[in-house]
Structure 1
C-alpha cells in the first residue's frame, strides 16, 4: 500500500508555527496600540484604547495568549483541510477531517488532479470523489500508477460542465436548493460546509466544481 500525505514537518509543525505567529502578530499590535489610537481612521479604536489602559505585564500576557489562541484556531482549520490518500491494489481510501471515503478497486476507473482537487472516476464516468488538498500532483500520480491505477492528465468530461444559475431547468428542485445553500457557504468562506453540500449533490447524480466562486455542474450520463 502507498500512503500520500503532508510531510511530518507540516502536519505537526502547524501546531507550533501558527500559535507562535499569532502570538507575535498580536504582541506587535499591542506594542503599536498607543500609536494606533492617534489614527482616527483606524478601526476598532475602542479596543486599542482598552489595551493601552491595561497595566504590564498583563497586557503582554493577554496579547500573547489571544494571539496563540487565534493561531491555534487557524491551525485547526488548516489541519481539517489536510487529506491522506491510501492506495493499494485492492482499494483507494481518502481520509479528511475525520471523514473516510473508501472505494474498491473495481469502482475506480481512473484518477486525476483538477487544480487542487483529487478526482476519482468510476468506469461509467461518475465522479466518486472530488476532494481538495495541498498534496503534490506528482506524488499522487506516482502513487496511483505505482499501484496499477490509470492516471489521467485532466478531466475527460471537462466540456460537459456548465455554469449553474438559479433554478437551473435541467436540475431537480432539491438539487437547485442545495446549489443555493452551497453558494451561500462559498460566499462566507465556509469551505467544509461547501464540500459537504457538494457531496450531497453528488449523491443525486450531479457533479459540481468551482471556478472563481462560480459553481459548475454536469449530470450523470
Structure 2
C-alpha cells in the first residue's frame, strides 16, 4: 500500500503535468528482458552444471553436481519457472528502487520505495544529479528526496526548467562537505554515533537502515552522502557559518 507525506498544500487547480518515470524503452527491457533472461538461465543451469562437474577443481561441487542431476523434463520446467520468477522479482525491485517524479508549475511529487512525497515548487532550492542519483533540496538545503533516476540529464534538466525548478549541473553545496572521521571535531557526539551506526549498515548493505539513519542526521541538522566506502557530511543552510 502506498503511503503519502505532504510538504505543503495541494493546489486548488490542475497545472500542466510532466511525469518523469522509468523511460519506456528501459521499462520494456527490464519488465520483459529480465524474466526472459531468468527463464533461459533456469533452462541452461543444469547442462552448465553438468559441464562444470567434470572440472578437476571445483568449489561447491556437491551443490553443482545436484543441479546437474536435474535432467528430467519436469525438473527442467521447475528450474525454468524459478528463473522466470527470479527475473520478475529483480525487475520489480529495480522498478521500486527507481525514483519517479511528477511535476507541475506548482509542486513536485517524488515516488520512491512505495512512498509519495510532495513539495511546493517555491520550497525547492536545487535539483541536481549526484552520480546516478537525482537529488531535490528544500529551502533549508535538506534533501527532500534522493534516488536513482533513469532519465538522462539533458531531458531531465529541460523538463524541470520548463516548470521553473532550479536545476543545477552540480551540487551547489558540494564545497561544504567534510569526510567523516570518527570523533573528529565539528560534529556533536550524537551525530558521530549516528554515522557510526550508518557505517555498519552500509557494510551490511541494510539499505533501509542506511536511508533512515541519513534522515536522522538531517533531523540533527546535517546532510550525509557517500563516496565509495566513505561518508561525507555538511550542515544545513543557515547553519554552515557555525562550522567554518
TM tier relative to shorter chain:
0.7 to 0.9
Secondary structure of 2:145's counterpart equals strand
Residues 115-171 of structure 1, C-alpha deviations (whole Å, 9 max, x = no match): 222222334444333333223222221121101122122112111101112234433
Partner of 1:50: 66
Residues 54-106 of structure 1, C-alpha deviations (whole Å, 9 max, x = no match): 45113311221222222222223211221211121211111112011211122
Distance 1:55 1:155 in 2: 55
Q: TM-score, normalised by structure 1?
A: 0.87
CA contact (8 A) 1:4 1:139 kept: no
Partner of 1:85: 101
Partner of 1:96: 112
Runs of 4+ in 1 over 4 A off after TM superposition: none
Alpha carbons of 1:31 and 1:133: their partners in 2 closer, same or farther (altered >3 Å)? same
Secondary structure of 1:109's counterpart equals strand
Aligned residues: 221
| 2:217 counterpart of 1:205 | no
Distance 1:181 1:41 in 2: 41
Alpha carbons of 1:13 and 1:196: their partners in 2 closer, same or farther (altered >3 Å)? farther
TM superposition shift of 1:13:
4.3
TM superposition shift of 1:35:
2.1
Distance 1:77 1:177 in 2: 31
Matching residue within 189, 199, 211 for 1:195: 211
Alpha carbons of 1:165 and 1:76: their partners in 2 closer, same or farther (altered >3 Å)? farther
Alpha carbons of 1:126 and 1:52: their partners in 2 closer, same or farther (altered >3 Å)? closer
